[in-house]
């Protein structure tokens, strides 16, 4: 029978519940347990697909095409349990399901209410993650204790604790211990009040994780234990760390996994963390440094390209170098300024995105990387930009563009396929989720993967127009990856270039700190070589 761990937050948002959840899941996996994770999000959106990056950050894509919260990226980077669209449950999904069922007569004419109908639907989504081989279902609840939006979720979890019985559910609450500089001390009152709100709902946390910039002493532990009704050894300090990948070790030093396993009567030896510790040692003791320019329309937002930034870090670990990110707004890149802006970079990465803003700057960046032989990695729109630039400046087609931005243009080298237009009329407009890609031997992509066929995740509408394939190949562009079912172009490379690769998919979603994605690994390796040549 699966056990349950529910992680809630209090005081303020953005404390790192996702990282704490992922870190705890990783420790449990290293003890030999099978863990499944999910995020319960209180917002009314059905999924994250239409949410503004300025408010929400990146949209994370699961293999089955779910557009989800970015915390699922943390789950996949730290732990190994498979994720799907079922791993992200929103209030919008819950109400949509309940209202549809009511319209179909599914409640036999009953008065549909938050309790029990909404809470029952929430519980069914959580229990959907259970199976005989799953030891632990770990669910993170978005928002903070006291938010009106979170109340149905917390009520559902309270009911689950009662229904599952003692020893089958553990509650972990993450709060903030603010340091008041005028008083020179950490304040526990916000955490006390946050736990009090949970206890009013009927939830008694079994463990308290506290985010703090200062180490806590025994007096603070005793105070939190007394006022929050939590065992003193279950008060776990999460002090600010240099690297997020230190968090599992921080939790392990305080035996957080032992505490949870004891509460839930779970077996398992101490976790084996040698590989993780070796990765951290490499991260903290690099043998060199490279500078990668990330040219995007949301470059000023740390969460908009979260998985890409992490994947570049992983590529650095694999090459034993530190990757310094130079974030450049694509709006600011112009032919007059590009040489100055990219003078100190060893590689250029253009990420995915939607909308025309900043597209000209991305094209300029791609041209500069091509002509100056700087390693270039184009992801999704970044590949399309690479192709448009090549068509304009090598094929001498100045009107070449994507029909996304120039619907009636004469040279639609990137276009919306006919069958996609049909799909669009039915309400679905994107190629979402995991698709196969056959690799061409002798290409940089094939050398990176070392395999004949791979599978990668997509999130895009527009594709390379095959009408231009022959001309591109005759002039120095090579198509290194093809979808075997549709013939769609997945990977483009410039032959006469040290490393210029564009991919239609999002490889960043499959990169881990202990196993860098092959393309990010080789892109950083090319940047290292470029730096050596320039030196």
- Hey, which bits of 42-104 come out as E strands? 60-61, 67-68, 88-90
pLDDT at 397: 97
Please state whether the peptide bond connecting residue 488 to the residue before it is cis, i.e. omega within 30 degrees of 0.
Answer: no
Please identify which of the residues 228, 261, 380, 472 carries the catalytic annotation: 380
Strand-strand pairing, 185-186 and 67-68: unpaired
End-to-end CA distance of the chain: 60
* 10-residue stretch averages of pLDDT, the chain, 535 residues long: 96 90 97 96 89 82 93 95 96 96 93 96 97 97 92 97 96 94 89 96 97 93 96 95 95 96 91 96 97 92 92 98 96 94 96 88 97 98 97 96 92 80 48 96 98 96 95 97 95 98 98 98 98 86
CB 40 within 8 A of CB 129: no
Distance CA 142, CA 129 (A): 18
Q: What are phi and psi of 373, to 5 degrees?
A: 60, 40
Residue 217: C-alpha distances to residues 171, 178, 194, 208, 337 (Å)? 23, 14, 20, 15, 53
Helix axes 274-284, 306-318, angle to 10 degrees: 90
Active-site residue (options: 29, 463, 508, 517): 508
* Paired strand residues for 477: 494
Give exposure, 89-128, as e/b (b: 16+ Cβ within 10 Å).
bbbebbbebbeeeeeeeeeeeeeeeeeebbbebbbebbee
Q: Residue 511, SS3? A: coil
Pairing state of beta strands 3-9 and 136-141?
A: parallel
380 is catalytic: yes
Contact 83, 25 (CB under 8 A): no
Indicate which residue of 74, 117, 506, 530 is catalytic.
Answer: 506
- CA–CA separation, 17 and 186 (whole Å): 20
CB neighbours of residue 59 within 10 Å: 22
Q: Comparing C-alpha atoms, which of 348, 486, 467, 487 is closest to residue 403?
A: 467
Question: pTM for this structure?
Answer: 0.94
Degrees, nearest 5: CA angle 493-305-19: 130
Which residues have C-beta within 8 Å of that of residue 75, sequence separation ≥ 6? 18, 21, 22, 25, 37, 39, 81, 83, 87
Our CA angle for 315, 317, 318, nearest 5°, is: 65
Angstrom distance (rounded) from CA 74 to CA 244: 10
* Res 428: pLDDT: 55
In the chain, the domains with their CATH numbers are: 3-34+113-277 (3.40.50.300), 286-534 (3.40.50.880)
Contact by Cβ (8 Å): 477, 444: no
Cβ proximity of 43 and 90 under 8 Å: yes
Helix (H), strand (E) at residue 274: helix 274-284
Based on the residue annotation, tell me whether 508 is a catalytic residue of this protein: yes
Rg of the chain taking only CA atoms, in angstroms = 25
């Amino acid at each position: 029978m699966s056990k349950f761990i529910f992680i809630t937050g209090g005081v303020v948002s953005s404390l790192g519940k996702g990282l704490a959840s992922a870190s705890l899941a990783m420790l449990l996996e290293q003890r030999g347990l099978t863990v499944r994770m999910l995020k319960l999000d209180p917002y009314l959106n059905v999924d994250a697909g239409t949410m503004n990056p300025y408010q929400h950050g990146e949209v994370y894509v699961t293999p089955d095409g779910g557009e989800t919260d970015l915390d699922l990226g943390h789950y996949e980077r730290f732990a190994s349990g498979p994720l799907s669209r079922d791993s992200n449950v929103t209030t919008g999904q819950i109400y949509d399901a309940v209202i549809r069922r009511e319209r179909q007569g599914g409640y036999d004419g009953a008065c549909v209410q938050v309790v029990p109908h909404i809470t029952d639907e929430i519980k069914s989504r959580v229990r959907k993650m259970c199976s005989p081989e799953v030891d632990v279902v770990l669910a993170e609840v978005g928002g903070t204790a006291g938010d009106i939006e979170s109340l149905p979720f917390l009520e559902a979890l309270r009911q689950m604790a009662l229904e599952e019985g003692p020893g089958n559910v553990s509650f972990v609450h993450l709060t903030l211990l603010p340091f008041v500089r005028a008083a020179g001390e950490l304040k526990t009152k916000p955490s006390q009040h946050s736990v009090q709100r949970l206890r009013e709902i009927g939830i008694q946390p079994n463990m308290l994780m506290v985010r703090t910039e200062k180490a806590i002493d025994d007096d603070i532990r005793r105070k939190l234990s007394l006022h929050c009704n939590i065992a003193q050894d279950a008060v776990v300090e999460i002090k600010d760390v240099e690297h997020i990948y230190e968090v599992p070790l921080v939790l392990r030093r305080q035996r957080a996994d032992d505490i949870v396993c004891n509460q839930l009567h779970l077996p398992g030896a101490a976790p084996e963390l040698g590989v993780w510790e070796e990765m951290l040692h490499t991260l903290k003791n690099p043998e060199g440094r490279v500078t990668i320019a990330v040219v995007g329309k949301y470059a000023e937002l740390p969460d908009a390209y979260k998985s890409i930034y992490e994947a570049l870090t992983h590529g650095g670990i694999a090459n034993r170098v530190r990757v310094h990110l130079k974030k450049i707004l694509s709006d600011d890149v112009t032919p007059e300024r590009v040489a100055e802006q990219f003078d100190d970079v060893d590689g250029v990465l253009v990420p995915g995105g939607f909308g025309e803003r900043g597209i000209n700057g991305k094209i300029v960046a791609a041209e500069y990387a091509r002509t100056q032989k700087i390693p270039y990695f184009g992801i999704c729109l970044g590949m399309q930009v690479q192709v448009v630039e090549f068509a304009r400046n090598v094929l001498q087609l100045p009107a070449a563009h994507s029909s996304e931005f120039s619907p009636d243009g004469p040279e639609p080298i990137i276009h919306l396929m006919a069958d996609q237009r049909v799909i669009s009329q039915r309400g679905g407009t994107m190629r979402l989720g995991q698709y196969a890609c056959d690799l061409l031997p002798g290409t940089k992509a094939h050398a990176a993967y070392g395999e004949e066929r791979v599978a990668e995740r997509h999130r895009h509408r527009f594709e390379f127009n095959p009408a231009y394939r022959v001309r591109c190949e005759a002039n120095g562009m090579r198509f290194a990856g093809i979808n075997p079912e549709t013939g769609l172009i997945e990977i483009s490379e410039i032959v006469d270039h040290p490393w210029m690769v564009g991919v239609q998919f999002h490889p960043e979603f499959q990169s881990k700190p202990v196993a860098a994605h092959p393309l990010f690994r080789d892109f950083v390796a090319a940047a290292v070589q470029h730096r050596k040549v320039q030196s």
